[in-house]
Amino acid sequence: MVATSLVPSPAVAPLLLAVDFDGTITMRDTLHVIVDEYGRAGVWDELEPDLVAGRITIEEAMSEQFRTVTATPDEVSALIRQRAGVREGFTDLVQFAEQRGHRLVVMSAGFRSVIDLVMADLGLGHLEVVSNEAIFSADGCTLVFSDDRGELCELCDRRCKRHAMRVRHEGEPVVYVGDGISDRCVSGLADLVFARAGLAAWLDERDREYLPFDDFHQVIDGVKAFEAGERVAA
């Protein structure tokens, strides 16, 4: 359900802004970009019904997706720079957060080497990143899942982003920005959610409030209203 009146807790500063990477910061999901170019195209479409239904985990789906990927780190870097794209306004959001004294964390189920590449190109290599990793080579790809995932989540029965959020939360209001399956559980910990694509559809099905977004200028405007205690409308 699109939010019409979200109001922050009495103390609105500082905030914790947690932002997903693939399909949120980037215009295209970098995992899909890599697999489509260097793996077997279409494998995610085959896996997604089982993933959405909960018959397989994200980790199992990702491992199967990348099983056939053969590419060197340099090839992956060149591909990401060419095709991933960055959603408009992200650097402005970072600047806004830093000026306001908010903490901004990139919280991803994707790969640190890819995220670091994009952040470095944007001049944002100082941002905190929570993610998994992929070791690319011409002989194959190995996924390394983060140890920073804690115990099994009580909602999805897997190690998801909720733990990463909880250990970073210092009592401040939380803003979460995301678009996909890995953002579902953690979005429930947020005081204000910005959602698009699959996450927005999932929240709609559960009649949960969120603000839609296409770029990060909309996120900035929504956070400003939230800070001020104003009605936050789509």
Residue at 68 is within a domain: no
Q: pLDDT band at 231, cuts 50/70/90?
A: low
Residue at 161 is within a domain: yes
Q: pLDDT band at 120, cuts 50/70/90?
A: very high
Residue 166 has pLDDT above 80, yes or no: yes
Residue at 221 is within a domain: yes
Residue at 41 is within a domain: no
Number of domains making up the chain = 1
Give the integer Cα–Cα distance in Å for 199 and 210: 10
Q: How many residues does the chain have?
A: 234
Asked, as a colleague might, if the bond just before 8 is cis with ω within 30 of 0, I would say no
Which CATH number covers residue 156? 3.40.50.1000
Residue 151 has pLDDT above 80, yes or no: no
Residue whose entry in the numeric block shows the structure tokens 């932002």: 19
Mean pLDDT of 147-153: 65
Mean pLDDT of 100-122: 97
Residue 95 has pLDDT above 70, yes or no: yes
- Over residues 183-223, the pLDDT tens digits come to 999 999 999 999 999 999 999 999 999 999 999 999 999 99
Residue at 98 is within a domain: yes
- Over residues 15-59, the pLDDT tens digits come to 999 999 999 999 999 999 999 999 987 888 899 899 888 898 878
Residue at 55 is within a domain: no
**Amino acid found at 63:** S
Residue at 190 is within a domain: yes
Residue 176 has pLDDT above 50, yes or no: yes
Residue whose entry in the numeric block shows the structure tokens 């890819």: 114
Tell which wins on pLDDT, 158 or 66: 66
How much of the chain, in percent, has pLDDT values that exceed 70? 90
| Domain housing 104 | 16-28+85-132+140-228
Structure tokens that stand for 87 in this block: 């959603």
Tell which wins on pLDDT, 196 or 68: 196
Residue at 122 is within a domain: yes
